[in-house]
A and B are shown apart, each in its own frame.
Chain A
Amino acid sequence: MSDQTTDELRAEIRDWMASNLTGRFEVLRHRGNAGDGDALPDLRKEWERVLAGSRWTCPGWPHEWGGRGLSVAEQIVFQEEYSRAGGPGRMGHIGEGLVGPTLIAFGTQEQKERFLPGICSGTEFWCQGYSEPSAGSDLGNIRTRARQDPATGDWLVSGQKVWTSLAHLSDWIFVLARCEEGSVGRNGLIFLLMQLDQPGIEVQPIRQIGGGAEFNSVFFDGARASAANVVGKPGEGWKVAMALLSFERGISTLGQQMGFAQELELVCEIARENGAAKRPDLRQRIARAWTGLRAMRYLAMRVLSDDPSGETMRETLGYKYHWSNWHRDLGKLAMDVLGRDANVISDDPRHERLRQLFLFSRSDTIYGGSNEIQLNIIAEQGLGMPREPRGSLF
């Protein structure tokens, strides 16, 4: 990705980050990424508005909705430079990366006008209400119910969502709920946009492995979604829900890799300092990590190249499995390089970053389709192997 226009863009973003991620925003560097999502939330929301002020939110969206209409290659440049500069995890990520593209593709004109500006300006934040206690990997098993209020046409929602990242810091939630009595699986679902701050919704943070609470339970008891806030047709929510997920596996991966590269560099730096770099076993594992990261880069470039012949389709199915396991292994490698220093909490922020990496990376192989689900998908869709039989327990 280096031709003249992208080089100029790269320089522009680099300068912008250098002159804006300073002063009181300095503390945000490298914070707020997956697993650390509840770090410094107010300041990170302010940071979103600084980004928005220079139109660096939603750069891949079309101009008409406040974006810059950047090409894939240009968006990659943005992601890379943002991460290189240590740009904090984006509070607006779910709005920008998931809700926006979904509304642009499936939303009504009214919905676009109502919601896209809030996302672009960094003033309205979103969270994702898919998982439920009985619907994890088996997302089709959703039980949260939506019943239409005959008087207003609004939808009244009851049930529970769980593992909802950033719900306690968000303004809106999109909810997949069952709107047809007696329907099962992927049929009879509805995709709703709901305001969190209303009677009938209660958000309870869940403390996680690293001690913080980035995700939550969200309880619904007759909460209201206005009739205007149904995306797609009632009963066809699954289609919208899946389309939304397809936007997720996109451009941000290359920015994410830039973060991975920094983490690996940090591991190398500490290994050189504390003598771990002399240990043959750790040297081999560090070299393997480098190898995996380089493979990931080329794999991502092939994934994103969108070869019209679709010949890379089969291989791209493995991308999530690859990066998530790579990252999880890096977490363990980081601990082994730290050795005894991993065990005690010190003021060295680098050590703390690696400890958190170790803990947070355990989630990488669970959310967004767990390892086992990824392998099922690769085997079935990529290799044409038989589908898993469905059981009959509920």
Chain B
Amino acid sequence: MDLVLSDDQKMIREEATRLLAERSTSERVREVVEAAQGVDAELWATIAGELGWCAMAIPEAFGGLGLGMTEQVLLMEAVGRRLAALPLWSTSCMAAPLIAAVGGDTAKAELLGRIAGGEAATVAWDIFAVDPLAHIGFDARASGDGYVIEGRAAQVSDLLAAAIVLVPAQLDGGLALFALPAGTGNSALLPTLDGTRQIGELTLDPVALPASARVDAAGFDAADADAAIASAMLGLAAEQIGAACGVMDVTLDYIASRVQFGRTIASFQAIKHRCARLEVDFSEARSLVYGAAAGFDATSPAERGMEIAAARALAGDLLYRASEEAIQLHGGVGFTWEYDPHLYFKRAQAASCLLGATHAHLGLIADALLGAEEAR
């Protein structure tokens, strides 16, 4: 396995980083936060519509570029670094891989094609669980030519931004996947702690769906969706290390210019060492994310699951620590709305429990190493 990025991969990263530095500035992120929609629609139109970022990981047969997990991770890292409020994670790391994993041929062709073309998508599953399909909030039954589906998902990422909303539901003792036609059910925008990721509540009370809304091939279970869950976790971890890098940059800039006791505060060893420790944690988390991405297709699902849980645990902890240190090392200004640390700090907290908090990820790894039953 080669962990050196290719020139093409570096170019993708550089382009994404450059564009987002220009377009997702601190001022712009604040506008998005104030507008309370959780999405920067203009920026999305550029990156998804014009630049085709969502097409990258989609297979060529479905109108995509067929690039791999490494490219995906590099994009997510760049997005996280600027806290860009884009439904990219929901679309490219959750919805598209879920369709690719369990979708039927027609659905794949149609939905993946639309995503490649720049339409946002999301999945209404249990976004707080390490196993988001374990406790599905929707029940479906056959009815006439179609289905009736009922239930609720309390928090769905990018729900209102998504043109394609995927709903996994219990059907005849198994799982089925539905794509809601536009305007189906009740979608409510929820105000959020961080303001940079849209969250909505979806209620289907009950609604009738045509047969064509069902998009899975022939029922599925959580194991069939493993690659999609793994991709969602890894994408989130990449976004978190990106955000950690962003907030570390903010901190390093500030402490290099703030003078106390006749010297920059960056010259105090207590501060140097705290930054250096973050840097070590950063290299660790980033190596794990890149390593897991490079081996994504070759590693066995069991080992891949452990690696990605590990990446997610390190990345989540790193981002939280980097952003709390940012506030502390900024002193009083770190407590203000005007300076940026709080934007990252809120994102850190909000993201920390998505797809399971650290202890749950470590729990998965412990189960694999020590046997699950031992815990009871």
Chain A residues engaging chain B, CB cutoff 8 angstroms: 1, 268, 271-272, 277-278, 280, 283-284, 286-288, 290-292, 294-299, 301-302, 305, 307, 309, 311, 314-319, 321-322, 372, 374-376, 378-380, 382-386, 388
Contacts and interface: CB of A to CB of B under 8 A. Distances in A.
B266 A287 contact: no
Contact of A382 (B256, B279, B307): B279
Given A283-B366, A378-B276, A277 B310 contact: no
B290 interface: yes
Interface of B: 1-5, 10, 252, 256, 263-264, 266-267, 269, 272-273, 275-277, 279-280, 282-288, 290-291, 306-307, 310, 313-314, 359, 361-366, 369-371, 374-375
Given A268-B369, A305-B2, A382-B276, A283 B284 contact: no
Nearest to A309: B10
Nearest to A276: B370
Given A283-B366, A298-B287, A385 B275 contact: yes
A78 B323 CA distance: 42
Nearest to A296: B284
B1 A287 contact: no
A318 B374 contact: no
Contact of A305 (B4, B362, B365): B4
User: Which of A277, A287, A319, A376 counts the most chain B CB atoms within 10 A?
Assistant: A287
Contacts, number: 145
A380 to B, nearest CB: 7
A1 B362 CA distance: 27
Contact of B272 (A309, A318, A379): A379
Contact of A291 (B279, B286, B362): B362
Given A287-B363, A297-B291, A272 B284 contact: no
A361 B206 CA distance: 62
Contacts of A311: 5
B359 A284 contact: yes
Given A272-B374, A284-B363, A384-B252, 18 more contacts: A268-B370, A277-B371, A283-B362, A283-B363, A287-B363, A291-B288, A294-B288, A298-B290, A302-B290, A315-B287, A321-B276, A321-B277, A378-B280, A380-B272, A385-B252, A385-B267, A386-B263, A386-B266
Nearest to B362: A287
A301 B374 contact: no
A1 B1 contact: yes
Contacts of A317: 279
A315 B4 CA distance: 13
A295 B287 contact: yes
A270 to B, nearest CB: 11
A290 B291 CA distance: 15
Contacts of A319: 283
B267 A299 contact: no
A283 B314 CA distance: 16
